[in-house]
């Protein structure tokens, strides 16, 4: 098998760490359960990632068919050194760390073990008080993808998924503009003598950047709106001023939506619910057959008329406007998204093992500490405490007090 075939089959392998024995390293038991969330097709680690974890002394077990939708077979994982289990309950019982894409659903609560570690997305738009209380009750340490912050203040896992989401959102919108999807029957880029479609992007973050790049690649006319002037200026410069920018005021948004063929909802604040920028009245003013892709619906959405949909039933029509509001857009590019997750998550797992376990790692790894939202029977994120009117303790205080 040549190098290209290896990379194609297993994804790019995370570089193995040198075998440095610090005296604190521990061997961990890592579990990869099958995703139960509707239409979630990703898995957090590739077979290549499993081989790296095994080479560093960790045990990995995976539920059967967990990687099937991402086109990784049980055989691929077993060849890499993982133990394939048929029971979800058995996997939870034998794992110290549960690594998932979506958070555990209610059917999995009974499988959660006391003092276990859960690393997954949190999906703020769907988080429940019951889930948080169950984690607290069982003294689970929970780390959310949305909160893991790098030393440069970026959110690496969120960024990677947002790059995919931004690119795919424009592809999706182009599809639903077609006649057989009850769209306007236009193409994004136009042709000679026919003007291009107008794409309005709300927000100027990573989703917006990659949506704008893709829309420009199609040849569309692109408007980007945000209330952060510095971000708009940065995006203008990085895209060679090929976009039109405006502050996200009621007046500008209302005017833009009246001429928009596509609206990409990408307004969000990291670690918080997305702000609602578009009212139902604004949606009523849009052209019949235009398309809204609310790309931050997993954070609550930034368009009033949005509500979550699924990959199997992705759209609904409101006021003759097509709404695509699937929370996990990258799941439809499951293999690419899985490889991206693997490349970011495996180094964190290696760090936890090298530090001597999750408690020791939280002392030294600021990114993981930022990502933790439940620790030692306490909610540790103020934003979640405010959302659910629950008490919280700052994780820095919990760690400093050795609780």
| Residues labelled as active-site residues | 123, 298
Q: Is the alpha carbon torsion for 200, 172, 144, 336 positive or negative?
A: negative
Which of the 8 DSSP states describes residue 278? B
What is the rounded CA–CA span in Å between residue 92 and residue 76? 21
Identify which of 167, 237, 261 has the alpha carbon closest to the alpha carbon of residue 206.
167
C-alpha torsion 132→152→161→203, nearest 10: 90
Start-to-end CA distance of the chain, whole Å, equals 51
Cβ atoms of 381 and 394 closer than 8 Å: no
Q: Which residues contact 384 (CB under 8 A, 6 or more apart)?
A: 127, 132, 373, 390, 392
CB atoms within 10 A of CB 120: 19
Q: What is the 8-class DSSP label of residue 302?
A: S
Which three-class secondary structure state does DSSP give residue 69?
A: helix
CB atoms within 10 A of CB 360: 14
Burial 216-237, CB ≥16 within 10 A → b, else e: bebebbbbbbbeeeebbeebbe
C-alpha triplet 92, 341, 209: angle, nearest 5° = 140
Residue in 92, 36, 41 with CA at minimum distance from that of residue 336:
41
Distances (CA, A) of 382 to 103, 138, 299, 374: 19, 20, 16, 11
User: Parallel, antiparallel, or unpaired: how do β-strands 372-375 and 378-379 relate?
Assistant: antiparallel
């Amino acid at each position: 098998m040549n190098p290209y075939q290896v990379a194609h089959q297993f994804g790019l392998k995370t570089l193995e760490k040198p075998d440095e024995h610090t005296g604190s390293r521990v061997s961990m038991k890592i579990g990869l359960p099958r995703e139960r969330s509707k239409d979630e097709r990703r898995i957090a680690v590739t077979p290549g990632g499993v081989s790296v974890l095994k080479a560093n002394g960790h045990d990995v077990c995976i539920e059967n068919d967990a990687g099937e939708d991402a086109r990784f077979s049980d055989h691929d994982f077993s060849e890499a050194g993982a133990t394939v289990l048929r029971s979800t309950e058995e996997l939870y019982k034998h794992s110290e760390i549960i690594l998932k894409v979506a958070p555990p659903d209610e059917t999995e609560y009974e499988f959660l073990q006391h003092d276990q570690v859960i690393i997954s997305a949190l999906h703020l738009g769907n988080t429940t008080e019951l889930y948080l209380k169950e984690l607290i009750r069982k003294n689970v340490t929970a780390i959310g993808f949305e909160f893991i912050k790098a030393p440069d203040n970026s959110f690496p896992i969120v960024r990677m998924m947002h790059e995919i989401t931004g690119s795919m959102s424009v592809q999706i919108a182009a599809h639903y503009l077609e006649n057989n999807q009850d769209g306007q029957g236009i193409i994004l880029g136009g042709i000679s003598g026919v003007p291009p479609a107008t794409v309005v992007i709300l927000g100027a973050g990573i989703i917006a950047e990659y949506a704008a790049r893709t829309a420009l690649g199609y040849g569309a006319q692109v408007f980007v709106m945000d209330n952060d002037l510095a971000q708009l200026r940065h995006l203008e410069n990085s895209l060679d001023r090929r976009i039109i920018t405006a502050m996200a005021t009621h007046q500008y948004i209302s005017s833009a939506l009246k001429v928009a063929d596509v609206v990409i909802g990408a307004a969000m604040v990291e670690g918080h619910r997305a702000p609602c920028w578009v009212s139902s009245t604004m949606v009523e003013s849009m052209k019949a057959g235009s398309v809204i892709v609310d790309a931050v619906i997993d954070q609550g959405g930034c368009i009033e008329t949005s509500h979550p949909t699924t990959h199997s039933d992705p759209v609904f029509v409101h006021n003759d406007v097509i709404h695509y509001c699937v929370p996990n857009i990258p799941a439809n590019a499951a293999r690419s998204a899985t490889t991206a997750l693997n490349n970011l998550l495996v180094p964190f797992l290696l760090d936890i093992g090298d530090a001597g376990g999750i408690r020791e790692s939280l002392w030294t790894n600021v990114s993981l500490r930022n990502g933790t939202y439940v620790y030692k029977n306490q909610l540790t994120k103020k934003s979640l405490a405010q959302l659910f009117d629950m008490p919280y303790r700052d994780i820095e205080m919990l760690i400093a007090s050795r609780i």
